[in-house]
Amino acid sequence: MKIRFLANAALLVLAGCQTPAPQSVAESQRPPSSAVRREYVDALQGTIKPGNFIKAEISSVVLLDPEKQIYAYCTRTTERRNPNWSYIGLGLQHNMILYLKKNDYRCHDKRLRYYDFPELRNMKY
């Protein structure tokens, strides 16, 4: 009986750890504006080789912290040398980048909607 109780408790703890974003965050999704898309491309200008991406997508913008007005979104890309998705997560507050995290676990959330990002794929020098 003790083993069964401990096993169930362990499963509950593990289930709680697997939800990367609360449901309310997932429900706050809105498509990225053209300004968000443009600013991301402008920020990468000169740091990556243009034309290197085969696929590029940008996620919905979500409200992470309503009190502090912290928003976040993700991008995912595939490159000629690596056909697997590469993820980058960004956090914003008052239009300033708070963090930029490669392979952010929140970018893998199945509830997050992604959109084609031709501006990044077709980026010029």
- pLDDT tens sequence across 3-12: 333 333 333 3
Closest by Cα among 34, 42, 32 to 74: 32
Distances, alpha carbon 18 to alpha carbons 4, 22, 113, in Å? 21, 11, 18
Distance (Å) of CA 67 to CA 62, 70, 93: 14, 8, 11
pTM: predicted TM-score of the whole model, two decimal places? 0.76
Q: How confident is the model at residue 1, as a pLDDT?
A: 39
Which residues of the chain are under the pLDDT cut of 50? 1-20
- Other beta carbons within 10 angstroms of residue 7's beta carbon come to 10
Note the pLDDT of residue 8. Answer: 37
Could you read off the pLDDT of 85-100 as tens digits, one per residue?
999 999 999 888 899 9
- CB 92, CB 109: distance < 8 Å: no
